[in-house]
């Protein structure tokens, strides 16, 4: 959790505000660049993707952009033609404010599904907004995007003379498929749109596409990176490393702040036939409600990990006689621990971050995924969300 102010990289400024969509907290964020930045956007593959995703996918396909607008508390999803018109109007209002073309604006929204934006309130807010906002740092910006998040998620890294600053939100309906709920990463490094896009796909694949809080894929997932180029060119490997560092940090913050979560759960599957197998088995473990509740209860019930491996029934090459399961670095299967040692292990499981490590012994590939425990509070939060 970052609390001290984090300025945006060179070229970017931000404004935040309060449209009043659902509560009396900030619910709109605009980040703009003073000239066209290179851009890459990755979006949900949901067939119920909202108008924000449709419009942003179109607008970022050019690899260039000037601004991103985020509206929180309302996803503007499953709202029909009217939802699409409203999304285009918000984009046009943002372009008017920032001083660019509507096609240079990306839009992202999350919150309740199936309710139109309160457009009168939206128009009123834009009439009173000024640009550049000035003085809004990344922490305030991330705060304006929050829905059920308990704290803003930001991360930064340096690469050569450039900086990378990332913002993320979202702690429920999270098993991203191509991107997360909303992640915005800004850098002043100089990089071509093509290279930025390839880099971004590789980074998201092992960070936000490796997180799962509740197996539910959002209709609004959006991961956007914008590079202003103001700090000039940097080593590209180092830039990818910095993007990875920021995205992984945000991923871990997202998983640890999963709705109702008390612990970060990291699952590494290695010695797998290929990365697909490692990912599938790791996801099966991190998503198992029985594994998640055992982690919550600090119960060293490794049998549930065995179950979660076993239920990937398409992998008949997985031999239960060769699999090794560990909590942290402690082997629990196939060498069965005596009861006293299981008690000790329960001490480990009371920590803030739990590693479950399974070696499949079918090959040499590995994959790591990020999740959290499942608690009564998750149920409580979600049993009463719209009402």
Stretch that binds a copy of itself, among 88-96, 107-115, 162-170, 239-247 (CB under 8 A): 107-115
Nearer to a copy of itself, 96 or 310 (CB): 310
The total of other beta-carbon atoms located within 10 Å of residue 332's CB is 23
Pairing of strands 222-233, 264-272: unpaired
To a copy of itself, the closest distance from the beta carbon of 387 in angstroms equals 5
Site for a copy of itself in 324-363 (CB under 8 A): 333-334, 336, 346
Q: Is 238 exposed, middle or buried (0-12, 13-18, 19+ CB in 10 A)?
A: middle
Nearer to a copy of itself, 120 or 339 (CB): 339
To the query of whether residue 13 is one of the catalytic residues in this protein, the response is no
Q: Judge contact between 36 and 64, C-beta under 8 A.
A: yes
How many angstroms separate the Cα of 316 from the Cα of each of 72, 268, 273, 305, 361?
45, 20, 11, 17, 13
Per-residue interface string for the shown chain with a copy of itself, residues 215-254, x marking contact by CB under 8 A = xxxxx-----------------------------------
Per-residue interface string for the shown chain with a copy of itself, residues 26-45, x marking contact by CB under 8 A = ------------------xx
Nearer to a copy of itself, 24 or 81 (CB): 81
Nearer to a copy of itself, 146 or 243 (CB): 146
Per-residue interface string for the shown chain with a copy of itself, residues 303-322, x marking contact by CB under 8 A = xx-xxxxxxxx-xx-xxxx-
Residue 170 as a binder of a copy of itself (CB under 8 A): the answer is no
How many angstroms separate the Cα of 113 from the Cα of each of 149, 171, 357, 366?
17, 16, 37, 36
Stretch that binds a copy of itself, among 91-99, 112-120, 161-169, 233-241 (CB under 8 A): 112-120
Out of 10, 16, 29, 49, point to the residue binding a copy of itself (CB under 8 A): 49
At which residue do the structure tokens 């108008």 appear?
51
Q: Of the candidates 176, 355, 198, 159, which has an alpha carbon nearest to the alpha carbon of residue 250?
A: 176
Residue 47 as a binder of a copy of itself (CB under 8 A): the answer is yes
DSSP lists the bridge partners of residue 33 as 12
**3 state SS for 102-115:** HHHEEEEECCECCC
Stretch that binds a copy of itself, among 91-99, 153-161, 162-170, 379-387 (CB under 8 A): 379-387
Q: Which of 143, 180, 207, 362 is catalytic?
A: 180
To a copy of itself, the closest distance from the beta carbon of 306 in angstroms equals 5
Stretch that binds a copy of itself, among 55-63, 65-73, 239-247, 284-292 (CB under 8 A): 284-292
Buried b (16+ CB within 10 A) or exposed e, 129-152: beebbeebbbbbbbbbbbbbbeeb
Q: Which two tokens stand for residue 220?
A: 């609004």
| Nearest-angstrom CA–CA distance, 375 and 259 | 9
Nearer to a copy of itself, 72 or 309 (CB): 309
Residue 177 as a binder of a copy of itself (CB under 8 A): the answer is yes
Nearer to a copy of itself, 206 or 307 (CB): 307
To a copy of itself, the closest distance from the beta carbon of 39 in angstroms equals 23
User: Is the preceding peptide bond at 131 cis, omega within 30 degrees of 0?
Assistant: no
Angle (CA) 178-201-236 rounded to 5° is 160
Nearer to a copy of itself, 158 or 385 (CB): 385
Q: What is the full DSSP assignment across 68-114?
A: EEEE-SB---S-HHHHHHHHHHHHHHHHHHHTS-GGGEEEEE-SBSS
Q: Judge contact between 323 and 309, C-beta under 8 A.
A: yes
Q: Is the Cα torsion angle 112, 115, 120, 123 positive or negative in sign?
A: positive
Could you give the residue numbers annotated as active site?
180
Residue ranges in contact with a copy of itself by CB under 8 A = 44-49, 75, 77-80, 112-114, 172-173, 175, 177, 214-219, 287-290, 293-294, 296-297, 299-304, 306-313, 315-316, 318-321, 333-334, 336, 346, 374-376, 378-380, 382-387
């Amino acid at each position: 959790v970052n609390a001290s102010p984090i300025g945006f990289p060179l070229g970017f400024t931000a404004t935040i505000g309060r449209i009043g969509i659902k509560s009396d907290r900030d619910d709109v964020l605009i980040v703009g660049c003073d000239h066209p930045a290179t851009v890459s956007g990755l979006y949900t593959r949901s067939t119920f993707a909202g108008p924000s995703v449709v419009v942003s996918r179109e607008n970022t396909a050019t690899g260039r952009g000037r601004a991103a607008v985020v509206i929180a508390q309302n996803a503007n999803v499953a709202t029909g033609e009217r939802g699409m018109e409203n999304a285009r109007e918000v984009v046009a209002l943002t372009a008017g404010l920032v001083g660019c073309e509507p096609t240079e604006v990306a839009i992202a929204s999350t919150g309740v599904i199936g309710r139109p934006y309160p457009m009168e309130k939206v128009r009123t807010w834009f009439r009173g907004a000024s640009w550049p906002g000035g003085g809004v740092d990344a922490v305030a910006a991330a705060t304006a995007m929050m829905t059920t998040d308990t704290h803003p998620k930001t991360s930064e890294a340096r690469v050569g003379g450039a900086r990378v600053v990332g913002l993320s939100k979202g702690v429920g309906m999270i098993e991203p498929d191509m991107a997360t709920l909303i992640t915005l990463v800004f850098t002043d490094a100089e990089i071509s749109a093509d290279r930025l896009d390839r880099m971004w796909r590789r980074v998201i694949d092992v960070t936000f596409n490796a997180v799962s809080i509740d197996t539910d894929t959002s209709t609004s997932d959006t991961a956007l990176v914008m590079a202003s180029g103001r700090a000039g060119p940097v080593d590209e490997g180092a830039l990818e490393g910095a993007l990875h560092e920021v995205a992984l940090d945000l991923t871990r913050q997202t998983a640890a702040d999963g709705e109702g979560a008390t612990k970060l759960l990291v699952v590494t599957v290695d010695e797998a036939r290929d990365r697909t197998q490692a990912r599938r088995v790791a996801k099966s473990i991190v998503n198992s409600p029985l594994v998640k509740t055992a982690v919550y209860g600090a119960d060293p019930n490794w049998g549930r990990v065995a179950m979660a491996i076993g239920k990937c029934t398409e992998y008949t090459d997985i031999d239960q006689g060769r699999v090794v399961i560990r909590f942290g670095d402690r082997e629990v299967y196939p060498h069965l621990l005596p009861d006293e040692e299981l008690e000790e292990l329960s001490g480990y499981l009371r920590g803030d971050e739990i590693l479950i490590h399974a070696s499949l012994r079918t090959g040499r590939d590995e994959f790591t995924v990020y999740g959290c425990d499942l608690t009564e509070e998750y149920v409580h939060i979600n049993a009463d969300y719209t009402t």
